[in-house]
Structure 1
Amino acid sequence: MSIVRSTTVALSAALAFAGTLVTGASTANAEHRPAAMSAVTMAASGKTTQRIASGRTAPGEGWQLYVNNSPGLYIDIDTSAAHFTGDPIYTASVAGAAHQFELTGTNTVYQPTATGFRVYIRWSNGEPLTVEDAVTYGWYVNWIGVDQP
C-alpha cells in the first residue's frame, strides 16, 4: 500500500473514530494544559503502523492571555495520552457556543511536538480579546493527530 493511500486510510479512520469518542478526561499538567477528551486508534499498512489520536479541550478552559499588536489568547494542547513516537501532523479547529467565526488563527498549529501543540487566536477586527471571552463563549479546540513514526 502506498504512503498516500496509507495516510488517506489513516485519516479516514481518524475522522470516523472521532465521531464515536468515549469520554476519557485526562488530568491537566503543570504547564496549564487543560483536561481533554481523547481517543487513540492504530492504522497498519505494510511494515509500518500509524498512531492516530483525536480529542478536544474543555469548553472555556486553559486559555491564556498574550499581548502582541493587540491582546489575544493562546492555549496549549496536551496530546501526551496519545503516546506519539514521532512528530505528528496535527489538524485543529476552534469551536464553541458563539463568535468563533469572528476569530483568526482558529486552525493554525504552533510548536507541534509528540506531546502537544499551541493555538493562538485573536479577533479578526483587531479588538482586544480576553480570557473572559473564551469562557463566556465556551471556546475549545478539536484536534486530530497522525503520528509519523
Structure 2
Amino acid sequence: MQISSIRAAIAAAASTVVLPDGIGKLTCTGYTPDSVVAPHFFVAEYTQDYDRAMRRSLDELEFTCRVLVSRSDDQASQRILDGMLSGAGTASLKTAIEAARGAPGEYALGGLAHDLHVMRVQGYRWYEHEGAQFVGAELIVKVIGDGSS
C-alpha cells in the first residue's frame, strides 16, 4: 500500500461531511498541517504491522486522525465536535470515511486498500496547535491491504 495515497484518500473521504449551517466547511489534509483553519481534520501518526499474511499479501495500518474545532464558545464547539464524532448522520466522520469502503466486493479508498474501519474515538480534550487552542479528538482508522504494492 502507498501510505501517502491512503492518507490523502482518508482526508478526501472526511471532507464529505456536512456540518450545520453557519459552521462552514470542514477543511481536511492528509498530513499534520503547520496551521489549521477550523474546523479541521487531518491524518497524523500511524502504526504499521507488516506481514499479517504470508508473502507480503497483507499489511495492517492504524492511522491516528485528529479533528479540531475553534473554541469560540465552549459548549457550541463541543456540540459541533460531538456531531462529527457521532456514529451516524450527515456530520459523522465515521459515516463519511467508511463510505470510502466501496460497494461489496470492491476495494476501499478507490482501490488503494482491501478495507478500512473507523475503530474508535479517543483523546477528547483541548489541543494546542501552533499556539492556538482548539477542542478536538482523535479517530483511529484501521486500513488493511496488499503489503507488496
Sort the TM-score into its range (normalised by shorter chain). Answer: 0.3 to 0.5
TM-score by length of 2: 0.35
TM-score by length of 1: 0.35
More helix by share: 2
